[in-house]
Structure 1
Amino acid sequence: MSFFSPFADLVDGLGDVLEPVAGTASTAAAIVLFTAFVRLLVLPLSRAAARGQKARTRLAPQVAALRKKYKKNPERLRKATLELYAAEKVSPFSGILPSLCQLPAFFLMYHLFASAEIGGAPNTLLGHSLFAAPLGDRWKDALADGGVFGAHGQVYLVLFAVVVAVAGYNYRRTKRQLAGAAAAAGPGGEAEALPGMGAMNKIAPLMSFMTLFTVGFVPLAAGLYVVTTTLWTAVERTLLHREEPAAVPAAA
C-alpha cells in the first residue's frame, strides 16, 4: 500500500456515499467536500491572518512615524518596523500561511488524478467524471474532444467563468485594501519599511487571475479543488474582514 492509497479510498468512499444525491458527479462532489474539510482545518490560520491584517492597518500610522524618523537609515527602519510588529505580536507575512498549508492537499489531489496506478493497482478514480469531462483529463483533452464548446469543453467554460468572476471580485477588493493601507501608512508605507513588500503589493491584486492557468493545465479534479478553494477564500475573506477599520491617514 502506498502513501496515497488511503486518500484514494477516502475520495472513492465519499463518492459512493454521495452517489444517491450527486449521481455520476458524485466523485466531483466528494472533491468539493474534501476541499471544504481542508479549508475548515485551515480556518484558524485564516482568522489569524485576518487579525494580522487589521493589526497592520492599526499600526500603519506608527510605521509611518518610524519611516519619518529613520528615513536616512533604511536598515534601522526595517529593524524598528519588525520590532514594532514583534511587540504587537503581528507577522507582516501571516497572510500567506493559509495558502502554504493548502499546498499539500492540492498536490495530493493532483497526484490522485494524474497517476495511472496507485499502490501498484490501477487507479479507479480515473474512471469518474464531472458530467462529460473525465476527472483525470486536462483542458487540452477537452479541446481535442469536441473543442471549446463541446460537451467536455463546456465543463471547463463553466469553471473558467467562475474563476474570472471570483478573480475580478478579489482584484477589486485587494486594490481597495492596498489603497487603504497606503493611505494609513502615508507615501511609501510598508513598501519602504519591509523588503519585498512593494513588489508583493503590486502583484497581489493579479494573483487570483493566475488560477485560470492552473485550472487549464492540471487534471480536472485538481482544477475543481482550486476553483472550490478560491471561491471559499473569497467568501471567507469577505466575512473575516467585514469589520476591518477604515484607514486613518498618517500625520504629515
Structure 2
Amino acid sequence: MDLYAFPPVAAILDAAYSLLMGLASLLEPLTGSAAAAASVILLTLLVRAALIPAGIAQAKAEQTRSRLAPKLRELRRRHQKDPERLQRETMKLYADEKASPFAGCLPMLAQAPVVAIVYALFLHTAIAGHANALLSHELVSVPLGTSLVGAVAAGTASLATLGVFAGVLAVIIVVAEITRRAFRPQIETETDAAPLAGAGIARLAGVLQFTTAVFALFVPLAAALYLATTVAWTLVQRLVLRRIYPLAAA
C-alpha cells in the first residue's frame, strides 16, 4: 500500500506541491528557467527554519547528556554486576536532574512527518493522482526528475548532467567533511575499554557523514538539491547551537 495515496496524506502532499509550484511562479521573474530548482531550495530553507525549535531541543538534550555522562559512567562502574540496580539509579539520576533519556528522540520524531512529506515532493512522478510537473522543469538543461545513476545507466548523461550533479555532490561532500571535523564523537575512555574499538566507532561515524552523497547519486536532481540544502543548513545550525549550548568538557 502506498502511504502517500492515503487520502489525508495525499491532500497534505498536494497542498505542499501547490505551495512549491507557487514559489516557482513567484521566483520565475528573478531566476528564469531555474525557478523550479530555486523553489526547491527555498522551500527546503523555509521548512528547516520552521524546524529550528526541534533543533534547539536536540541541542539542549545533547548538552544534558554530556553533562550527565561522568555520573552515568560512575553508575555503570559501581553497578555493572546488578543491571536492575543500575537501571533504577539511572532513572533516579535523570529524575533528580529533571531530564529525560529520551529528550533528544522526541524532536526527531516530531519533524519526521514534515521531512517525509517535503522529500516526497521531489521523488514521486505523480502526486494526488496528477503528474508532478516539478520534475519536468530543468536546471541548466537538466530535468529535475533526472538521476545521475539512471542517466548513466541509460546512456543519456550529458556534460550538463555530469556538471550539475558534480556541483551538488561537491557541496554535500564538503559539508560532510566539515561536519566530520567539527563534530567528532567523544569516545569514552575507561580503563577497561578497548582503544581500537573506540577508534573504530569514530571512523564509522566519520564515514556515515558521507552517505548523503551516495543517496544523491540515485535520486532525482530535485531531491539531490534538497539533500544538499538540508545538510548545509544543518551544519550551520549545529555550529550556531553548539556555541549557544556547549557540551561539558570531556
Partner of residue 13 from structure 1, selected from 22, 26, 29? 22
Deviations 1:74-94 (CA, angstroms, capped at 9, x unpaired): 343244224323442434454
- Maintained 8 Å contact 1:5/1:119: yes
**How does 1:112-191 map onto structure 2 within 5 Å?**
112-143=121-152, 144-146=155-157, 150-175=159-184, 177-179=185-187, 182=188, 186=190
> What is the rounded CA distance, in whole Å, between the counterparts of 1:37 and 1:173 in structure 2?
25
Question: Shift of residue 166 of structure 1?
Answer: 1.0
> Which segments of 5 or more consecutive residues in structure 2 lack a partner in the other structure?
1-6, 194-199
> What is the rounded CA distance, in whole Å, between the counterparts of 1:188 and 1:223 in structure 2?
44
> What is the rounded CA distance, in whole Å, between the counterparts of 2:232 and 2:91 in structure 1?
33
Question: Shift of residue 203 of structure 1?
Answer: 4.6
Aligned to 2:227: 226
The reply on whether 1:66 has 2:57 as its aligned counterpart is no
- Maintained 8 Å contact 1:110/1:218: no
Identity of aligned residues (%): 37
Question: Shift of residue 165 of structure 1?
Answer: 0.8
Question: Shift of residue 110 of structure 1?
Answer: 4.5
> What is the rounded CA distance, in whole Å, between the counterparts of 2:125 and 2:181 in structure 1?
41
Give the counterpart letter for 1:178 in structure 2: Q
TM-score, normalised to structure 1, is 0.79
- Maintained 8 Å contact 1:46/1:98: yes
Aligned to 1:238: 239
Question: Shift of residue 160 of structure 1?
Answer: 1.0
Question: Shift of residue 216 of structure 1?
Answer: 1.2
- Maintained 8 Å contact 1:174/1:205: no
Going from structure 1 to structure 2, the CA distance change for 1:173 and 1:91 (only over 3 Å counts) comes to farther
Going from structure 1 to structure 2, the CA distance change for 1:85 and 1:203 (only over 3 Å counts) comes to farther
Going from structure 1 to structure 2, the CA distance change for 1:165 and 1:242 (only over 3 Å counts) comes to same
The total of aligned residue pairs comes to 232
TM-score, normalised to structure 2, is 0.79
> What is the rounded CA distance, in whole Å, between the counterparts of 2:94 and 2:203 in structure 1?
22
Give the counterpart letter for 2:21 in structure 1: D
> What is the rounded CA distance, in whole Å, between the counterparts of 2:145 and 2:114 in structure 1?
16
> Which segments of 5 or more consecutive residues in structure 1 lack a partner in the other structure?
190-198
